[in-house]
Structure 1
Amino acid sequence: MAPAERQNHARELVREADLSQWDALVIISGDGLLFEVVNGLMERDDWEEAIQTPLGILPGGSGNALAASIHHYTGSPPGSSEDLLVSCGFLLCKGLVSRLDLVSVSLASGLRLFSFLSLAWGFVADVDIESEKYRYVGAARFTGHAPGFCSSLFCQKKASADQGAAHTFRNSCNSNNATKASRSEAPPAASGGPADSLLVPLEQPVPSHWTVVKEEDFVLVLAMYQSHLAEDLLAAPGASLEDGVMHLFYVKAGISRAALLRLFLAMEKGVHLAAGCPDLVYVKVLALRLEPLTPKGVITVDGEVVEYGPVQAQVHSGLARLIAG
């Protein structure tokens, strides 16, 4: 057992560890520590071999979305944090290994990260980070804080409308039936990992065959690759560990506070796609680019804040391995 003593300590440990001594790496924490481990593995010179090390998760953090997703994939009904711990522990004992999609995320600075859960901008990212002060209450901080944040979000927008406070962005996406861009156009990896064959450098226009969403105001943009955004938020009910796509959601500005709250309450049961919300758009994509036009904001990857600005991402199907029954 190797306790993480500070932020990015787990990342440093796995980057330098002799992985031949271990059959698997089991993380006893939340999604944030697994994010560190995944990126530490991908920063190694032998990343192709290192990322094949089976990963396991025992939920012990405030954000346990992957554990909730694994529990959901077994067909089990929604449960408490204790139920998730028992479920994931049982699956670890079984020791069956599945493939896990990873998503490479490229930032304007040239930094390249690997993500297993989500990429968020706007309302979802704001709630996640704003609710950090309530970390001690566990998973309840996500859904418990959303109603209050709905009110403050809309009040702030109204009071600041003349200053352009509403979120605006340009979004481009490559749908799952689009033709791939040539590998020669792909930006180089910052440290390691497979080439992003669908992407071009951020300073270049997206390929002509991509779908481009016109510039307008949006409340949130959320790309999910697992079913759960939090223990009790079934954001992408159709997702699986290795489906090879990102489940992209975005909500246009103009949605009422009541409608947004109803949307998140429906998300607790995974029925938001059937809620008939005209402001919600859902599409499956292989790659995407997000270009925020507002000067300030929050972007998160797997719940961790990253630099704000243009960002693009591509799915790498089954790149990692996960003990998931």
Structure 2
Amino acid sequence: MDELFHYEAKKTKHLVRVEVTDEKITFLAVNAAAWVFEADIKDIVGCHLMKNVSLNDPYLRIFYYPFDDRRTRRRQIIVDLKPAGDKAYDDCLKIKLMILRASCGFPRDWSDYDTLKTIENLQKLIILINPKSGKGNARKTFTSKVVPLLSEANIGCDAVFTTGPNHARRLLKTMDLTVYRGIVVISGDGLLFEVINGLLEREDWETAIQVPLGIIPQGSGNGIARTLADAQNEPYHLDPVLTSTLNIIRARPKAVDLMRVLQRFPDESEKTYYAVLSVGYGLLADIDIESERLRSLGESRFTIWAVLRLIGLKTYRMKVSYLQAEPGDKGETQPQRLSPRLFRSTTEVEKPRNDELMRRTISADTNIISDPLEPFADNQIEYGDLAEDFVAADTFGPSSKYSPLTGEIPSDWVTIEGDFVLVYAVLQRFIGTDNMFAPKSKMDDGLIYLLLIRGDASRGQLFQFLTSFESGTHVDVPCCEMIPVKAFRLEPQTSEGNLTIDGEKVPTAPVQVEILPSFYRVFMR
């Protein structure tokens, strides 16, 4: 199908024929041999019916985000199409329906306008914002960057500003999720950790964990957001907020691996956590936790503290046991429920306040909602108290496939006991913006990448290790052992040192970790 419209490019007006297919929109100049341009469907953020306030004429506005010429970032292009025919409203509506049909992946013969109303009711997001994360810019990022983009896509949201540790986890344990199409965090990886654990502490955890998640990086470490961009060959460094928000708008759910972490304490009680990124003990965990006092410096705090920890290097006595993955081994995946593209549309012609001068002021429903939880004082929860607020092991969530922590180590596991500088296990390729920790990792490969550095490593080797993350060549440093595993057990022989789960400190006590393949879903393009 194609319709005629007036289109202005570089101050030149064209009469163009608009052709919409499943893959692209083509704007062909009438009576000219060359086409004006093509737009990839997946790069279109929103399509709006507008009205010229002075002339009362409808027109179509398309928000389009292609790569720049060097593919280093995406840039905004706004296309205004004014119908050339007599049936202006009908022509605009027809093109809008075709764009929505292609974007949502509906069949070619789909033309049911009532379906748009159904989609509209499914599109609201719940957005959780940690205003103190990283350099403290999350609130400004939400209002100045995220809300305008969601408005272009006409996606509504409810926003909650978290007030302290575990706020998001407690909130999601009881929140009615049926009114939301997805959950988005604007923070670092720690808030995503809270969200996952809150969902898996619900009685309906099997349903709740199917709700797709999005992350917009604003933390000191942004490993998940960086991994998502890398997996899609998307530009990240110049505008990570744009790249991540476009993932949420495009909204193709992708299954991702998770780690189940069981911890046992001296009083014989146990806690279960779920890790999206890492479990670590020793040098890297020490750097992560002890550098918190430099949080205002952003990710550079890790570099500064790494130098200090190399000067005062420590080793820790521990026993590490693991089930090594076989070559080509991959975990069993969970069944996936595919959903239409996240696209919230309106059924009436929209009336912008400033007509042609309007650029980023289209308004979707954005609500700052109150929360029943009492605010936390800044000093109310100290590091090391995270486990105290978690439910007892196995209350909800999936059960373990392996013997308990109190049981014998299985005969097919490898056990090493001795002094270590660090033990660090990761799921994803990046643990920070520029830290390619597990170069061979894929988001759903069903593997945990366990890195060991023993106590006889020299400071020179450790310096080489710490300065090679960006390229991923740290795995070639002689002191490093990177082992793909399905499960492992870590038993510290001392109470000293920092043990972290997704960068959050927990008590130094034995843990058993296992892979949960393709267990939760994230928004991707």
* Common topology (TM > 0.5): yes
Q: Select 1:260's aligned residue among 446, 457, 462.
A: 462
The one-letter amino acid paired with 1:316 is L
Partner residue, 1:311 = 511
Q: Select 1:121's aligned residue among 264, 267, 281.
A: 281
Q: Distance in 2 between matches of 1:142 and 1:234?
A: 15
Q: How much does 1:76 deviate?
A: 4.0
Q: How much does 1:190 deviate?
A: 2.5
Q: Distance in 2 between matches of 1:280 and 1:200?
A: 28
Partner residue, 2:246 = 90
Q: Does 1:194 align with 2:394?
A: no
**Alpha carbons 2:461, 2:479 under 8 Å: kept:** no
The one-letter amino acid paired with 1:196 is S
- Which 5+ residue runs of structure 2 have no aligned equivalent? 1-158, 330-391
Partner residue, 2:15 = none
Q: How much does 1:19 deviate?
A: 0.4
Partner residue, 2:208 = 50
Q: How much does 1:278 deviate?
A: 2.2
Q: Select 2:263's aligned residue among 107, 111, 131.
A: 107
**Alpha carbons 1:176, 1:284 under 8 Å: kept:** yes
Q: Does 1:206 align with 2:406?
A: no
- Say which SS state the counterpart of residue 260 (structure 1) adopts: helix
Q: How much does 1:8 deviate?
A: 0.7
Select the structure that is richer in helix: 1
Q: Distance in 2 between matches of 1:191 and 1:302?
A: 21
- Say which SS state the counterpart of residue 2 (structure 1) adopts: strand
Q: How much does 1:145 deviate?
A: 2.2
Q: List per-residue Cα deviations over 1:238-290 (Å, max 9, x = no partner).
A: 112111110010101121212101111111221222x3x22211110000000
Q: How much does 1:89 deviate?
A: 1.4
Q: How much does 1:94 deviate?
A: 1.2
Identity of aligned residues (%): 37
Q: Distance in 2 between matches of 1:30 and 1:43?
A: 21
Q: Distance in 2 between matches of 1:312 and 1:124?
A: 19
**Alpha carbons 1:28, 1:59 under 8 Å: kept:** yes
**Alpha carbons 1:58, 1:88 under 8 Å: kept:** yes
Q: Distance in 2 between matches of 1:295 and 1:22?
A: 43
Q: Distance in 1 between matches of 2:431 and 2:222?
A: 9
**Alpha carbons 1:139, 1:232 under 8 Å: kept:** no
- Say which SS state the counterpart of residue 274 (structure 2) adopts: strand
Partner residue, 1:175 = 324
Which contiguous aligned blocks of 4+ residues in structure 1 show a shift greater than 4 angstroms?
none
Q: Distance in 2 between matches of 1:189 and 1:147?
A: 38
Larger Cα Rg: Structure 1 or Structure 2?
Answer: 2
Q: Give the structure, 1 or 2, with the largest relative contact order (CA under 8 Å, sep 6 or more).
A: 1
Q: Distance in 2 between matches of 1:236 and 1:295?
A: 28
Please give the TM-score of this superposition, normalised by the length of structure 1. 0.88
Aligned ranges for residues 1-325 of structure 1 at < 5 Å?
Answer: 1-76=159-234, 79-80=236-237, 83-108=239-264, 109-153=269-313, 157=314, 166-177=315-326, 189-197=393-401, 199-213=402-416, 215-273=417-475, 275=476, 277-325=477-525
- Which 5+ residue runs of structure 1 have no aligned equivalent? 158-165, 180-187
Q: List per-residue Cα deviations over 1:28-66 (Å, max 9, x = no partner).
A: 111111111100000000000000000000011222111
Q: Distance in 2 between matches of 1:135 and 1:65?
A: 16
CA change 1:148–1:296 in 2 (3 A) is closer
**Alpha carbons 1:107, 1:307 under 8 Å: kept:** no
**Alpha carbons 1:121, 1:222 under 8 Å: kept:** yes
Q: Distance in 2 between matches of 1:103 and 1:84?
A: 26
The one-letter amino acid paired with 1:50 is A
Q: Distance in 2 between matches of 1:123 and 1:52?
A: 35
Q: How much does 1:189 deviate?
A: 4.7
Q: Distance in 2 between matches of 1:324 and 1:235?
A: 21
**Alpha carbons 1:142, 1:230 under 8 Å: kept:** no
The one-letter amino acid paired with 1:69 is T
When the two chains are superposed, the root-mean-square deviation of aligned CA atoms in Å is 1.7
The one-letter amino acid paired with 1:42 is L
Q: List per-residue Cα deviations over 1:64-104 (Å, max 9, x = no partner).
A: 11111112212246x53x52222111211211110011110
Please give the TM-score of this superposition, normalised by the length of structure 2. 0.55
**Alpha carbons 1:249, 1:283 under 8 Å: kept:** yes
